[in-house]
A and B are shown apart, each in its own frame.
Chain A
Amino acid sequence: MSAVTEATVESATPVLEGVDLVKEFAGRTSLFGRASSKVRAVDGVTLRLHAGRTLGLVGESGSGKSTVGRLLLRLLDVTGGEVHLGADDVTRARGRDLNQARRAMQMVFQDPYSSLNPTMRIGDIIGEPVTFHRGLKGAELDAEVDRLLISVGLSPEHARRFPDEMSGGQRQRVAIARALAPDPKILVCDEAVSALDISIQSQILNLLLKLQREFGVAILFVSHDLSVVRHVSHEIAVMYLGQIVEFGPADRVADSPAHPYTAALLSAVPEAKPSHRRARQKVVLRGDPPSPSRRPAGCPFASRCPAAFEPCHETRPEHTPVNGGGTAACHLQTQGPKLGGRSLPIELLRARPDEAPSAAD
């Protein structure tokens, strides 16, 4: 399933590309170690990262968005599909080759309290990848660590501290400096601001925007927070139950969604502006996503979709182009109302009274 097409992105070759990625985890194991069932956390995801651009990957818990980030960085092995770093296929890279590949792709984790080794000084945490990938030692290394600290808004004297002597915001800056240390082309931010206070969150988002402008890194911004994703992303991909259901330019996806799940997600985001609060049409979804181990045959969203009709429960929808850029995988585009690339009219999402879906499973 080639979910995401080149339609919206310039012809430039992607710096990192995941093609038709599949990841299965062994389900619960029984007493004697036999896997009882497999959970398909990622189910045919294709996405491409381009230099100087940010792809936002949104979804709720269990959507597989964090797994996609780890598959791209080869922190997890794929069950199916390929990972291309520039022209190289790194899907099966191991040992030294993999470590070399990782120089180009780095990650910033959600929780700055657990992602820094408590027994190491900040200078060593940042200096380690510098030494390994760029061979700097002694005074050169110290100078580079100082430069990295300054580039993320810290000062050289922080190098001597331990992580527990710093605040959450400072720690996340350290984590970003560590990620920048090997001079990467790609940065995967996995909920990188979700654990931070509002005032700190805006500082870190600004830092990421600045670093992208300066160094031209490609960013995969994985988050559940649509308003944050929208702010930092050029393109947005929306994941549900292991699949990308919609993809496109950030404005288009956020302002005129073509997939019912995107529309529901957008309408669930709380709004601070009084006028927006009153103007917004609410689509309150019923229930929770089905478990990834019991995957429906048709559209993954069919069980919760207010606009679902017969084909949704039977066949999996293909991605089709959407006006304004990007694609959506929804039968409403090609059958029933045949939207044919138009965005989704909100009226379609008013739950029909005759089939009020039951709450939660």
Chain B
Amino acid sequence: MTAPAASAPSTTQIAQVSGRRHRGLVRRVLDRPAGVVSIAYLVLLIVVSLIGPFITPFDPNQNDLRGVLRPPGLDHWLGTDDLGRDVLSRLLVAGRVSLLATAQAVLTGLAFGVLPGVLAGYIGGWFDTIVTRVADVLLSFPSLFLALAIVAILGPGLGNAMLAVGIAYAPRFLRIVRGQILFVRNETFVEAAISTGIPRRRVVWAHMLPNAWPALIIQISFMLGLTLIIESSLSYLGLGVQPPNASWGSMIGGSKAFIEIAPWLVLAPGLVIFFTSLAFNTLGDVLRDEVTGGRER
């Protein structure tokens, strides 16, 4: 397992460059081979996940007890599982579940992190002190551990699990946004915007927040990779998606007993998780290089 959070850039590193122009970021990312490959892979994955349920060769939940644990072959390209279900079909459907869950977690994190982060950075004072203290406490728990605790309270289920992961992430987004807002708060163009007499709300959303976007996008990319792995871990533990539905993680979890006689059951979802997480992290690296001008390498 990679440790994406550790390689995520610090707020200050990005703060130094937030004033820099970041228009054309997408084009510059696409100029890099690593950027093109990871984006192409992710786009393909998203498309396949969207149309997945319509192109499955078999019904993913259809048991076939006469054909269990078949190795990959012409009929079943990726073989069948212990209940005789087509692994490829399940993988396609599970991808949608996994990706949606991942997106849900990150969106939850943004929803709980961005606004308090903006307000903490902008208002400052006691509000900032309280918000950052709470965030620091939450950050001191490992994300997975925190998510487990929240699931224990809310009960198992993918929705609850991802809500939990999102809440666990919120402090990270909060810190990044707060740092960026603090950084641009003293920029002359913000003072200039205030001096024109436009409402404060607009100063914050139109002038300050856009300068936090590059840092936020990088963090989102790393977080997507990390969530995918946490989702897999929770589902593997049986705390995420509930049978008969599948996510990539639960596919591994459900097949662990057969790993010696049917390794493809673990290998197929495992590789997909690995490559997807790698793609998100690579994209994050490329974005960070482009935003910071590659100064950290």
Let me know if B33 is at the binding interface, CB within 8 A: no
Are A164 and B21 touching (Cβ within 8 A)? yes
A182 to B193, CA, bound (A): 12
Are A106 and B196 touching (Cβ within 8 A)? yes
**Which one of B189, B202, B206, B207 has the greatest number of beta carbons of chain A within 10 Å?**
B189
Let me know if B256 is at the binding interface, CB within 8 A: no
**Which one of A96, A128, A162 has the greatest number of beta carbons of chain B within 10 Å?**
A128
Let me know if B188 is at the binding interface, CB within 8 A: yes
What residues on B are CB-neighbors of A117 within 8 Å?
A: 189, 193, 207, 210
Let me know if B3 is at the binding interface, CB within 8 A: no
Q: Give which listed residue, A96, A100, A118, A175, contacts B21 with CB less than 8 A.
A: A118
Are B206 and A116 touching (Cβ within 8 A)? no
Let me know if B198 is at the binding interface, CB within 8 A: yes
A175 to B199, CA, bound (A): 19
Are B196 and A178 touching (Cβ within 8 A)? yes
Are B195 and A118 touching (Cβ within 8 A)? no
A259 to B97, CA, bound (A): 79
| Known A102-B196, A103-B197, A128-B196: A114·B189 in contact at CB below 8 Å | yes
| Known A99-B197, A101-B197, A102-B197: A109·B21 in contact at CB below 8 Å | no
CB distance from B21 to the nearest CB of A (A): 5
Let me know if A36 is at the binding interface, CB within 8 A: no
What residues on A are CB-neighbors of B199 within 8 Å?
A: 96, 99, 132
Interface size class of A (residues with CB under 8 A): 20 to 34
**A window 79-128: CB within 8 A of B:** 96, 98-103, 106-107, 109, 111, 114-120, 128
Secondary structure at the B interface, as helix, strand, loop or mixed, is helix
What residues on B are CB-neighbors of A118 within 8 Å?
A: 19-21, 189, 211
Let me know if B23 is at the binding interface, CB within 8 A: yes
CB distance from A101 to the nearest CB of B (A): 7
Let me know if A152 is at the binding interface, CB within 8 A: no
Are B192 and A116 touching (Cβ within 8 A)? yes
Are A178 and B192 touching (Cβ within 8 A)? yes
By beta carbon, the residue of chain B nearest A181 is B196
Write out, one digit per residue, whether chain B residues 84-99 have a CB within 8 A of any chain A CB (1) or not (0): 0000000000000000
CB distance from B216 to the nearest CB of A (A): 13
A164 to B21, CA, bound (A): 8
Are A128 and B23 touching (Cβ within 8 A)? no
| Known A75-B191, A111-B188, A114-B189: A100·B196 in contact at CB below 8 Å | no
What residues on B are CB-neighbors of A75 within 8 Å?
A: 191, 194-195
What residues on B are CB-neighbors of A62 within 8 Å?
A: none
CB distance from A1 to the nearest CB of B (A): 28
A-B contact pairs, 5 of them (CB 8 A): A73-B195, A103-B197, A106-B196, A115-B192, A132-B202
> B: which residues have CB within 8 A of A?
19-23, 187-189, 191-199, 202, 206-207, 210-211
Besides the contacts A99-B199, A109-B188, A119-B23, what 20 more A-B pairs have beta carbons closer than 8 Å? Answer: A75-B195, A99-B197, A101-B197, A102-B196, A107-B192, A114-B188, A117-B193, A118-B19, A118-B189, A118-B211, A119-B21, A119-B22, A119-B211, A120-B206, A128-B198, A129-B197, A129-B198, A132-B196, A162-B23, A182-B197
The 10 A-B pairs of least Cβ separation, nearest first, read A102-B197, A129-B196, A114-B188, A99-B197, A117-B189, A115-B188, A119-B210, A107-B195, A115-B192, A132-B198
